[in-house]
Amino acid sequence: MKTPEDVCPDLPDWPERWAGLPEDIPYGKALLGVMRPFMQHIIAQGCHVRTIQRHMDNLWLLGGEIIRDVSLDEEYDSPPMERLMYSIGPDDGPLSRHCYTEVEQKSFDETCRQLYRFLFKR
C-alpha cells in the first residue's frame, strides 16, 4: 500500500458520492484535498491494513457529514479546513448518522481525533 487509492480505489469518486447537489462536488473535491495528507500519513505509519481501512471508512463518513452540513447551510464559501475545525476537535467528531452502535461512534471519534491532531497540532 502506497497511496490512498491503493486502500480505497473509489477514493476519486468520493466527492460525487457525497454530493446531494451539483454544488457539493467542488466542495467535496476540496475537502478530499485537505484529508489526503492525513490519509497518506496513516499509510506511511505502517499501520495494519484493517486499521488503515477503518480510518478510511471513517473519513468517508466524516466527509459525508461535512458535505451534508455545508449543503444544508449553503455555506460553500466556508473553506474546508475551517469546516473541519468546526466539525472535529481534540476529543471527538460530530455525531454520525451512520454509526449505529457506540463502538462504531467511538471508532469514528478516534479517527476524528487523529485527524484533528494531524491538521492542527503538528
Q: Give the integer Cα–Cα distance in Å for 39 and 46.
A: 12
Residue 33 pLDDT exceeds 90: yes
pTM of the predicted model as reported, rounded to 2 decimal places: 0.92
- Tell me the mean pLDDT in the region 89-97: 86
- Tell me the mean pLDDT in the region 16-32: 95
Domain that holds residue 27: 4-120
Across all residues in the chain, what is the average pLDDT?
Answer: 92
pLDDT attached to residue 69? 92
Which residue is associated with the grid cell 469546516?
83
Question: How many domains is the chain built from?
Answer: 1
pLDDT attached to residue 122? 62
- Tell me the mean pLDDT in the region 21-29: 95
